[in-house]
Chain A
Amino acid sequence: MLLKRLKMEKTERIKGFAQHADGNLLETKDLTKVFTIGKRLTGSKLVAVNSVNLRMKKEKPEIFTLAGESGSGKTTLARIILGLTEFTSGEMLYKGKDITKLKSKKEKMWLKREIQPIFQNPYEAFNPLKKVENYLFETATRSGTNHDKKAAVNDALNMVGLNQNDVLGKYPHELSGGQLQRTAIARALITTPDLLIADEPVSMIDASLRMSVLNFFKDLKEMKNVSIIYITHDLATAYYISDRIGIMYRGCLVELGPVEKVLKKPLHPYTKLLLESIPKTDPEHRWGNEIKMSNLEVKEYGSMGCKFAERCPLASEECRKEAPKDVFVDGRLVKCILF
């Protein structure tokens, strides 16, 4: 075991990958993931991610939000980018490299260093019987960085605004939710990633501490040039921190563009519905009209035309027949035949 690990560390030390001239950090082309429900031949198919095209620029770090209701495929997409789920068809390039073609362990470790996850519930991400520092040092060891592990851990902790005395030697229950989530972020930062994937990072944190974590993401982008994919269903926090937003519905990106445009002047009927459904935090302006609830989730995944047609107030016969194409209107992409 030890020999194997030493060998691995040695290979890691040789910095394998030079920077690429290609300007894209992450690029996906018609990325599709199909799950089969039931037995292989008789089962029905569910397209969880339906030809998604994304592009994130390398020189301009940004916070990109993936928003949508539960079951819209946003977590599946995140898992594909993290390499935890294999996609069915399409292409995904990270810094110009096709990630399905990474064969050697060295290359795969490189990808894991570059893209780091932050999970929803910090209390579940850490083993309650293990000291928190174990995770930090383990990542430092595995990431195979050349320099002192202790220094790497300290740097990462300082970056998230935690004192090493706050964290080292402590168990998860001795830290508050906000501190623990920041420790989780510090762990992700040890490998100096260029892309962070944060899946609902603040939904389990108390309201009075939530903003401090979000503010930290903003600083991270500005100071450390880290790009972040922020996954949420909370459009208010999405507006607060992100630069661009993609709205997902039943596996499709239905609207994608700068957050000011998409959320202030939504075009797709689904984006409008989502925005209207956020409680206004203003008792003077309550909801007037009632909305139609969806009862047929699986059916919608399988429908030929626009997935939103059954609930859309503006749907016509045409919508049910043919899948809409991406149209470029007013600085954003919209998947709707009305435009």
Chain B
Amino acid sequence: MKAILHIEKLKAYYDVKAFGVDRYVRAVNNVNFDVSEGEIFGIAGESGCGKSTLIKVLYALNKPPLTVMGGRVLYNTEGGDKNPLEIGSKELQKLRWNFVSYIPQGSMSVLNPTIRIKKQFLDVIKAHHKGTDAKEAIKLSEEHVSSLGLPREVMDSYPHQLSGGMKQRVTIALATILKPRIIFADEPTTALDVVVQRGVIQLLKHIQKELHNTVIIVTHDMGVHAEMADRIGIMYAGKIIEIAPTREIFKNALHPYTQYLIKSLPKVGDKTPKASAPGAPPSLDSLPNGCSFNPRCPYAKEDCYGSEPELRKIKAQHLVACCVAEEAKNGKN
């Protein structure tokens, strides 16, 4: 399959000036991966590991202090490869919503509280397809909303009249109205409870099945990834440290951090004691030398403090950035 999104040596730092000295918060630090067409790619990691920043850069939403320090992003559009970080704002606007679309974090609060949902749909369609007839646009959005299983009444409601889960589903409907090829979803189910979360995941999967598009979903909840993703990238301290198909991650995690993540997941029906990873994640402005996980890693050896490990291929499709991956794997058994 063809890669629809290509990320190469991407570096994005927050440039923080403190006492006249530049300090860099390395939120995205040399990230490389490809996402193929029709794939659901999950990005997992804990808060402050840079996963939301990565999504922002991929959607070219970077504003100072966030600066792209190097690398490139390529969208494989019908009109050839395009780098959203380089093209002009007019061209970017053409791509947005039509080709790529973004469901932001806390998307319950992104709807304009003073206008009806119907008008918000109309605004989106008019902004991206100039000269569309208003009646036609409303008919189109009504069809879209009902095809997603949302009640028709939402179109005439104001956002405050809807529950949190409903607002989230309306935002997803809004983001997909123009049938984008790539959808970036940043924590779409966080702050929703389990039943509503299931409804939202159901909706996203339904859309992906209909449109055969690519979904890049960012969340810290491994359960959501297990439910949705085809492939998962684990992020730690601004880097992707492991990429593998979902089953492989859950069965044969190689990086010690991934192993902690998977092992500490509580399950109903399992009361065996579970341990957290020791220590706390590093601050992104003062990363430890060598591998960023070395202060917390039980397998760390001398090499780990020297150079930063690169992503290397273990199996087809399974990449890991760890010098001691083999030992860590054996240590588990």
Contacting pair B166 A211 (CB below 8 A): no
**A211 touches which one: B47, B199, B202, B264 (CB < 8 A)?**
B264
Contacts of B277 in A (CB 8 A): 208-209
Closest A-B pairs by Cβ, 7 of them:
A279-B223, A206-B46, A176-B280, A69-B193, A212-B276, A277-B198, A236-B266
Known: A206-B46, A206-B220. A235 touches B276 (CB 8 A): no
Contacts of A286 in B (CB 8 A): 226-227
Contacting pair B227 A263 (CB below 8 A): no
Cα(A304)–Cα(B265), bound, Å: 40
B-contacting residues, A135-170, CB 8 Å: none
**B276 touches which one: A211, A234, A279, A294 (CB < 8 A)?**
A211
Among A207, A278, A287: residue with most chain B CB under 10 A: A207
Considering the complex, give the chain A residue whose CB is closest to the CB of B48: A206
Among B221, B250, B261, B267: residue with most chain A CB under 10 A: B267
Cα(A71)–Cα(B163), bound, Å: 10
Contacts of B287 in A (CB 8 A): none
Number of interface residues of A (CB under 8 A): 45
Cα(A278)–Cα(B198), bound, Å: 8
Cα(A239)–Cα(B267), bound, Å: 7
Q: Is B64 an interface residue (CB 8 A)?
A: no
Contacts of B226 in A (CB 8 A): 279-283, 286
Contacting pair A291 B195 (CB below 8 A): yes
Contacting pair A209 B221 (CB below 8 A): no
Contacting pair B264 A281 (CB below 8 A): no
Known contacts A282-B250, A283-B247; 8 additional CB pairs below 8 A are A208-B261, A210-B264, A234-B266, A235-B268, A236-B265, A279-B221, A279-B226, A293-B165
A-B contact count (CB 8 A): 131
**A235 touches which one: B166, B194, B265, B274 (CB < 8 A)?**
B194
**B267 touches which one: A209, A215, A236 (CB < 8 A)?**
A236
Q: Is B62 an interface residue (CB 8 A)?
A: no
Q: Mark A267-289, 1 if CB is under 8 A from B, else 0.
A: 00000011111111111101100
Contacts of B220 in A (CB 8 A): 206-207
Task: List residues of chain B with CB under 8 Å of any chain A CB.
Answer: 46-47, 149, 151, 163-166, 192-199, 201-202, 220-224, 226-227, 246-247, 250, 257, 260-261, 264-271, 273-277, 280-281
Q: Is A124 an interface residue (CB 8 A)?
A: no
Cα(A337)–Cα(B313), bound, Å: 58
Contacting pair B268 A278 (CB below 8 A): yes
Cα(A176)–Cα(B47), bound, Å: 12
Q: What's the nearest-Cβ distance from chain A to residue B86, in Å?
A: 35
Contacting pair B280 A178 (CB below 8 A): yes
26 A-B contacts, Cβ less than 8 Å apart? A70-B193, A70-B196, A71-B163, A176-B280, A206-B220, A207-B221, A207-B261, A208-B257, A208-B277, A209-B280, A210-B264, A215-B273, A235-B194, A236-B265, A239-B266, A240-B266, A240-B270, A277-B195, A279-B226, A279-B227, A281-B250, A282-B250, A286-B226, A291-B198, A293-B165, A293-B196
Contacting pair B276 A208 (CB below 8 A): yes
Contacts of B198 in A (CB 8 A): 276-277, 279, 287, 291
Q: What's the nearest-Cβ distance from chain B to residue A280, in Å?
A: 6
Contacting pair A274 B195 (CB below 8 A): yes
Cα(A150)–Cα(B246), bound, Å: 51
**A295 touches which one: B166, B201, B223 (CB < 8 A)?**
B166
Contacting pair B199 A279 (CB below 8 A): no
Q: Is A59 an interface residue (CB 8 A)?
A: no
Contacting pair A279 B224 (CB below 8 A): yes
Contacting pair B46 A281 (CB below 8 A): no
Known: A209-B277, A280-B226. A273 touches B195 (CB 8 A): yes
Cα(A239)–Cα(B265), bound, Å: 12
Q: What's the nearest-Cβ distance from chain A to residue B187, in Å?
A: 13
Q: Is A98 an interface residue (CB 8 A)?
A: no
Q: Is A297 an interface residue (CB 8 A)?
A: yes
Q: Mark A206-227, 1 if CB is under 8 A from B, else 0.
A: 1111111011000000000000
Known: A206-B47, A207-B222, A290-B202. A69 touches B194 (CB 8 A): yes
Cα(A287)–Cα(B250), bound, Å: 17
Q: Is A5 an interface residue (CB 8 A)?
A: no
Contacting pair A278 B223 (CB below 8 A): yes
Q: Is A76 an interface residue (CB 8 A)?
A: no
